Structure 1
Amino acid sequence: NTFVLVIVTVPISTGIALMISLALNSVKKLRSFLQTIYFLPYVTNTIAVGMVFMVLFKETPYSQGVVNMLIQWVGLSPVDFMEGPWWAKMFVLCFYTIWIVMPFKILILTSALASVDEQYYNVAKIDGTSSSRIFFRITLPMISPSLFYLVITGFIGAFKAYSDAVALFGTNLNAAGMNTMVGYVFDMLYRDSGGYPSYASAAAIILFAIILTITIINLLVSKKHVHYN
Structure 2
Amino acid sequence: WIVMPFKILILTSALASVDEQYYNVAKIDGTSSSRIFFRITLPMISPSLFYLVITGFIGAFKAYSDAVALFGTNLNAAGMNTMVGFVFDMLYRDSGGYPSYASAATIILFAIILTITIINLLVSKKHVHYN
Same fold (TM over 0.5): yes
| 1:80-139 Cα deviation digits (max 9, x unpaired) | xxxxxxxxxxxxxxxxxxx55432221110110001000000000000000000000000
Tell me how far apart the structure 1 counterparts of residues 110 and 12 of structure 2 sit (CA, whole Å): 31
Matched, 1:166 2:68: yes
**Over aligned residues, Cα RMSD in angstroms?**
1.0
| 1:122-173 Cα deviation digits (max 9, x unpaired) | 0000000000000000000000000000000000000000011111111111
Tell me how far apart the structure 2 counterparts of residues 125 and 101 of structure 1 sit (CA, whole Å): 35
Tell me how far apart the structure 2 counterparts of residues 160 and 148 of structure 1 sit (CA, whole Å): 19
Tell me how far apart the structure 2 counterparts of residues 139 and 102 of structure 1 sit (CA, whole Å): 21
Counterpart in the other structure of 2:50: 148
Give percent identity, aligned residues only.
Answer: 98
TM-score, length basis structure 2: 0.97
| 1:37-78 Cα deviation digits (max 9, x unpaired) | xxxxxxxxxxxxxxxxxxxxxxxxxxxxxxxxxxxxxxxxxx
Tell me how far apart the structure 2 counterparts of residues 169 and 100 of structure 1 sit (CA, whole Å): 19
Tell me how far apart the structure 1 counterparts of residues 78 and 6 of structure 2 sit (CA, whole Å): 29
Tell me how far apart the structure 2 counterparts of residues 102 and 122 of structure 1 sit (CA, whole Å): 31
Give matches, 1:105-184, under 5 Å: 105-184=7-86
After TM superposition, give the deviation of residue 205 of structure 1 in Å.
0.2
Task: Provide structure 2 residue ranges, at least 5 long, that are not aligned to the other structure.
Answer: none
| 1:199-225 Cα deviation digits (max 9, x unpaired) | 000000000000000000000100000
Give matches, 1:147-226, under 5 Å: 147-226=49-128
Tell me how far apart the structure 1 counterparts of residues 6 and 110 of structure 2 sit (CA, whole Å): 24
Task: Provide structure 1 residue ranges, at least 5 long, that are not aligned to the other structure.
Answer: 1-98
Tell me how far apart the structure 1 counterparts of residues 117 and 6 of structure 2 sit (CA, whole Å): 20
After TM superposition, give the deviation of residue 177 of structure 1 in Å.
1.2
2:2 counterpart SS class: helix
Tell me how far apart the structure 2 counterparts of residues 120 and 213 of structure 1 sit (CA, whole Å): 36
Equivalent residues, number: 131
Describe the shift of the 1:100–1:168 C-alpha distance in structure 2 as closer, same or farther (beyond 3 A).
farther
